[in-house]
Amino acid sequence: MRVTGVSTPTRPFRDNEDWLGSGPGVVVVLDGCGQPDNIAEDTERGCAHGLPWYVKTLGTAVLRSAGDLATPLDDALATAIAETATAHHGRCDLHHPSTPASTVVILRENRRTVEYLVLGDSTIAIDDGSPEPIVVTDDREIRIPFPSIGSDEEQAKRNTREYMAVVEKLRNQPDGFPIAAADPQAAYRALAGHLGTEQVRRAIVASDGATRLVDRFGILTWTELLDLASSGGPEEVINQTRTAETTDLECKKWPRGRAHDDATLALCVF
């Protein structure tokens, strides 16, 4: 598996709350959840470390634990979540609903198998030679009904504190949705699967900021996104995403919480 990838903050020199890492046969993408630290600084997170620290610490731990091919991906993620909880060194309230949290996507080549795990609304798109790629994303969060707002306004509302407060209370609850935070059990509620290596031609692993051309703007199909990443590289996907965003900075044409988002995309070619 040959991996090329890029991870960019919303603007140069801003903190990146996405994380991308790869090692031999493993790619990991994380997207920190909740309001960015620069907006949330006056809101209580119960954590002195912040989101960029969390995604960096968890991402590094996932890459290390998933590097052991004998460890199933859910166990590897559970171990990494537990290690990261320990790394707060008891100084933070890990039961706080706003404790740092993140989506996690792992793609691993394990001998004759390609394994994947998806937790939260980041995406894996696998080209297995069929007309349409296999696309896996975990949309359990966005299926949470948020009463009293119409569908057009819904996306604009999704970054408000009011909405965040509702969502954060549902993290890792039986009637809510799983996400990587401080509870290792969330790993066992991830979407996971595997294919034979001979079936897989190429795959994309991406945060939602890098799949907007397809799933938010409707400008490209998944196959066209794979083709763009293959021909122009992951940077070209980000460039075209930023160009599209800039034509709609007020988020009117494409309702969304933020005009720009951190964007991360890795292309894996087999």
**Among 45, 56, 88, 108, interactor with Zn ion by CB under 5 A:** 88
Question: Closest Cα partner for 257 from 129, 156, 145?
Answer: 156
3-class secondary structure, 123 = strand
Complex with Zn ion: residue 93 or 235, whichever CB lies closer: 93
CA–CA distance, 156 with 107 (Å, rounded to integer)? 32
CA–CA distance, 8 with 99 (Å, rounded to integer)? 23
Instruction: Find the part of the chain contacting Zn ion (CB under 5 A) among 33-41, 91-99, 107-115, 169-177.
Output: 91-99
CA angle (20, 109, 22) in 5-degree steps: 20
**Residue 66 makes contact with Zn ion by CB under 5 A:** no
Instruction: Find the part of the chain contacting Zn ion (CB under 5 A) among 22-30, 89-97, 127-135, 184-192.
Output: 89-97
Query: In the 3-class helix/strand/coil scheme, how is 30-53 assigned residue by residue?
Result: EEECCCCHHHHCCCCCCCCCCHHH
Complex with Zn ion: residue 10 or 99, whichever CB lies closer: 99
**Residue 92 makes contact with Zn ion by CB under 5 A:** yes
Complex with Zn ion: residue 86 or 173, whichever CB lies closer: 86
Instruction: Find the part of the chain contacting Zn ion (CB under 5 A) among 15-23, 28-36, 69-77, 86-94.
Output: 86-94
Within 13-52, the residues that bind Zn ion by CB under 5 A are 47, 49
Complex with Zn ion: residue 30 or 47, whichever CB lies closer: 47
CA–CA distance, 64 with 108 (Å, rounded to integer)? 12
Token reading at 182? 């401080």
- Residue where the block lists tokens 């949290």: 101
**Residue 56 makes contact with Zn ion by CB under 5 A:** no
Task: Specify the DSSP class assigned to residue 15.
Answer: P
Q: Nearest approach, Cβ of 49 to Zn ion (angstroms)?
A: 4
Which residues of this chain interact with Zn ion, rule CB under 5 A? 47, 49, 88, 92
